[in-house]
Structures are given as structure tokens and as C-alpha cells.
Amino acid sequence: MRLSERFVDNCILINSSSETKEAILNELVDTLCSAYKLDHRDEIFEAIWTREQSRSTGIGCGLAVPHAKIDYVDRMCMVAATIEKGLDFQSFDGEPVYLLILIVSPGNTVGPHLKALSSVSRLLADGNVRKDLIASKTPAEFLTILRAAEDKFL
């Protein structure tokens, strides 16, 4: 699955100034709802937040992949954010998070959601890709780096 094809206009936040896990998740959900023209913002946030409270999606190496399956969406939606200074996300390795990719999928799907999570893991296992995405200065640069990584690893 090519993640770059899932991103729509205005869905990549470069160098967010959020300072807490809750703040960045709110910012990501706001961006998601705006970019994809989604209603039910509070319900979407609650699903993401509830998932996050059960187990951190900070998977290590500066990366977090908050995700949920939600009845209020009719297709997979993704947004991303970079945080240059890092953010405590209660990650498994105890390190700050610098890159987040939020994925929401319809509640009745399984395969595409798992494929997206697998693609994120495969692409961002490469430290140079993570570093380059975090250093992106614009959403266009972020997508160019992501596409190059997909060409190389997928």
C-alpha cells in the first residue's frame, strides 16, 4: 500500500508546537476533520484517545502511529505531523516522538487498516527516512521523501 496516495491536501503538519499527547492528538483530529471534510470530530477524537489510553501507539524510534477504526468515516483517512523538539508520548522505548501518522478507517474494515499499519512500520523502520521526514520544511517535501521511500522499500 502506498501511503502517499492516502494523503490529501492540508493533511500534513510540519513542526507542530503541541506540547502534550492530548494536544497533538486534538491537532491531528482537527486536521483530519478539516482535510477530509468529516463530521463527528468529538467522537473521532474520543475513539483515538480511548485507544491511546489503553496502550500507547508510540512504537519507538521517535515514531507514533495513533489509529482507530471508526463508524463515522467511510474510507481510510491519514494525517501526519512532525514535532522538531519532540514530545513525550509514553512510547515503548521511553524516547520522545518526533513523527506521528494518524490513521482512521471505517469500523467494518480490517485488511486495509492492517496494510496501512504494516506499510508505516516497513517504511519508517529506516532511520534515514524517519530523520528526513522529521526534517521536512514543507508538506510537499514530506510527500516527496515519503514517495522516494515507497519506491525503495515497497
Catalytic residue set: 67
In this structure, what is the dihedral angle of CA atoms 60, 57, 122, 68, given to the nearest 10 degrees? -170
Report whether 57 contacts 83 (CB < 8 A): no
Residue 78's beta-bridge partner residues?
103
Q: Residue ranges of the alpha helices (H) in the chain?
A: 21-36, 41-54, 111-124, 127-134, 139-153
User: For residues 136 and 100, what is the distance between their CA atoms, to the nearest angstrom?
Assistant: 13
Q: Which contiguous run of DSSP H or E holds residue 80?
A: strand 77-87
Distance of CA 101 to the CA centre of its chain: 1
